[in-house]
Structure 1
Amino acid sequence: MGHMLFIDQPLNVGFSYSGNRTGTQQVSSSNEGALHLVNFLYNFYREWPKLAASPLYITGESFAGHYIPAFAREILLNETFKAATKVNLKGVAIGDGWVDPINQFNYYDSLLYSAGIISNKFREDDYVINTAGVLNYLNSVNWNYISNWKRARKDVWRINNQIRGWAKTYGNLWFVLVNRAGHLVPTDQPESAFNMFGHFVRDDRNWNQ
C-alpha cells in the first residue's frame, strides 16, 4: 500500500499560509522553498516515523520543475535531516515541467511552425511547455552518462496493444511522451498517466504491454 501526500507549496500558496501574506515571510527562491519542504518532512516523519522507511517519490508538474529538483537536492545533501529521519528517497517525477527556461523557451516558435500553426517563425510566449524544449534541456544536463542518454533508443509504449506514446530511458533518467495529452497529463489521459507512474515506481522498462 502506498500513501499520497499533497503539499501546497511554497508558503502562502493555496491552503499553505503563515498568517502574513506580505513582507518578509514570502518565499523568494526555490532553495528557500526547499528548506521549508525539508522542515515539513522532518515534522511529518517525527509524527509518523514508520513511514520514513517507505520509498519516497517527489512529484509535481509545470512550475514544480523548479521546486522539485531543489527539494530533492536539499534532501540528498542535508546529512542532519537524513540521519534524523532515515528518509528513503527513491526518485523524482516532473510532468511537463518548467525546469530550464533558457533551453526550453527557444523552442516555442519551432513547435508552432512544425505544427503548422504559424506560417512564419516568430516568438510566441502564450504556449505551455513543449516536448522539443524539454528534450533540449535534458540533452544539456550536466551528467556523466548524458552521451549514453542521447544515444538511447525510443521504445514505443503500448497498453493493451494500443500505442500510448514512447519512452526513452538510460540509468536513472527517464523521459516519457504521452500521446493526445496537453499540459495536464493526468486530466487528459488518466489511464496512461497511471500506467506510466506504475512503470516508474516498479522500474519497469518493458513498454510493450
Structure 2
Amino acid sequence: MSDQKCKTCRRAGEKLFLKGEKCFTPKCIFEKRPSPPGKALSERKHRSNLTEYGIQLKEKQKLRNVYGLSEKQFRRYVKEAGNETSGSPVEHLFERLERRLDNVVYRLGLAQSRTQARQMVSHGHIMVGKRKLTIPSYQVKKGEIVSVREGSRTSPLFTAAKEKMGKHPIPNWIAADALKLSAEVKGSPKYDKNELGFNFQSVIEFYSR
C-alpha cells in the first residue's frame, strides 16, 4: 500500500516532491499510478472539469501539503497575511511560509524534504545564532545565522551535508557557507509567480469566501 505522501500527490494530480530524492527515481508511485486513489474511472475522466471553488481548494491543499502545515496553522498564516497594511496578501503569505525555520533548513539542502527538515529542528540539531531552537515554525529574521549544532555534525544525517549544500540551488535571500554548515539570512523572500508552481492568489481567494 502506498503511503500518505504518495496519495497526497495523486490527489493533487501532480508531483509535490514530498519525499525528496525518492520522487526523482523510478520508484516514485506517482509515475506508476498518477490517478487519484479510490476514484472510479468515470470520476478520473472528469477531473479537469473543476469549478472555480474546486480549483481554489486544490491550490490550497497543494500549498498546505507542500509546506507540511495543519489547516489551523495554514489558515493563521493566511489571516496574518491579509491583516498586513502594506503590500499584497500573496507576498506576505509567501514570505511567512519561506521564513519558517524548517523551510530554511530544507532550502539549504540539509534535508531531503521539509518533513525531514522539521524533524532536524525538533530534535535539536539546528541553531539560530547561539541558540538551539526546536520550533520548526520559528520565523527567521534578516541578519540571523542558521547552522547545524556542533554536536550534531558527526550524525549520519549530516555526513554528506557539505557536499549537498555546495550543489543545492539556494535562494538569493540566504547566503550559505557549506564548509561551516551555516547560512545567514540576508534579506526577504521575494514572491515571483513565474518561478513557482502554485497559484497563491487562488489560495487567498479561497479563504476570502
TM-score (normalised: structure 2): 0.28
Choose between structure 1 and 2 for higher RCO, CA contacts under 8 A separated by at least 6 residues.
2
Which of the pair is proportionally richer in strand? Answer: 1
In the superposition, the TM-score normalised over structure 1's length comes to 0.28
